[in-house]
């Protein structure tokens, strides 16, 4: 009996890890929905970091006002200049796959191992990054919580300890990126 329970738990964990980065959003749903996929990293030796978020925002009872949002922040502790930028895009210019990590907000993409895009809100931030990790998704809460309505927000780390390489361009100046000690994760709120 204990062996059967362990096998069932292992099977549940394998499925959860496989589906960890799948989108839960259902187009035209009236319940409201908020779902974010973010990537962030810190340079291993310099005071540099980035945080990039791909978000679905679908207000309650207003699926026609649903948006894809891109947020980007670049932290430069060497110059003490930090840049923040946000772009909102109508859902008609977005796609969020339900059976793979495949997020597209306008021309910006988030795929396994790749994030490319830009924000043009006040400041401009562009990114062309590759990432990799040999670790499985990390669930912050018990697996049973992820399918329930409460708690609303369900955090997990989709690709723990990812390593990034590529370029981030902030207001036209390019910064080569070789960042480690990072997190990639997503935050889901199924009931906004």
3-state per-residue secondary structure call for 66-131: CEEEEEEEEEECCCCEEEEEEEEEEHHHEEECCCCCCEEECCEEEECCEEEEEEEECEEEEEEEEE
- Give the start-to-end residue ranges of the domains of the chain: 2-22+29-189
Helix or strand or coil: residue 136?
coil
Q: What are the φ/ψ torsions at residue 153 (nearest 5 degrees)?
A: -90, 130
* Whether the Cβ atoms of residue 118 and residue 126 lie closer than 8 Å to each other: yes
d(CA 27, CA 33): 10
Are the beta carbons of 131 and 115 closer than 8 angstroms? yes
pLDDT tens, position by position, for the chain (192 residues)? 666 656 666 778 888 888 888 888 888 888 888 899 989 888 888 898 999 999 999 999 999 999 999 999 999 999 998 999 999 999 999 999 999 999 999 999 999 999 999 998 889 999 999 999 888 888 888 888 887 878 888 888 888 888 888 888 898 776 666 554 444 554 443 333
Contact 92, 80 (CB under 8 A): no
8-state DSSP, 64: G
2-22+29-189 classified as CATH 2.40.50.140: no
């Amino acid at each position: 009996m204990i062996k059967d329970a362990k096998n069932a738990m292992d099977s549940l964990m394998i499925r959860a890890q496989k589906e960890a980065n799948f989108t839960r959003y259902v187009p035209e749903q009236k319940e409201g929905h908020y779902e974010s996929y973010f990537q962030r990293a810190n340079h291993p030796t310099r005071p540099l970091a980035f945080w990039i978020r791909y978000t679905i925002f679908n207000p309650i009872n207003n699926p026609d006002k649903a948006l894809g949002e891109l947020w980007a922040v670049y932290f430069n502790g060497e110059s003490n200049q930090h840049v923040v930028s946000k772009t909102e895009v109508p859902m008609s210019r977005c796609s969020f796959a339900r059976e793979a990590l495949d997020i597209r907000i306008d021309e910006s993409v988030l795929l396994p191992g790749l994030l490319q895009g830009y924000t043009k809100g006040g400041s401009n931030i562009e990114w062309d990054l590759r990432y990799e990790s040999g670790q499985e998704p990390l669930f912050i809460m018990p697996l049973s919580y992820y399918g329930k309505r409460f708690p609303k927000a369900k955090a997990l780390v989709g690709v723990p300890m990812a390593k990034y390489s590529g370029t981030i361009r902030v207001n036209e100046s390019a910064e080569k990126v070789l960042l480690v000690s990072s997190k990639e994760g997503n935050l889901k709120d199924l009931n906004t």
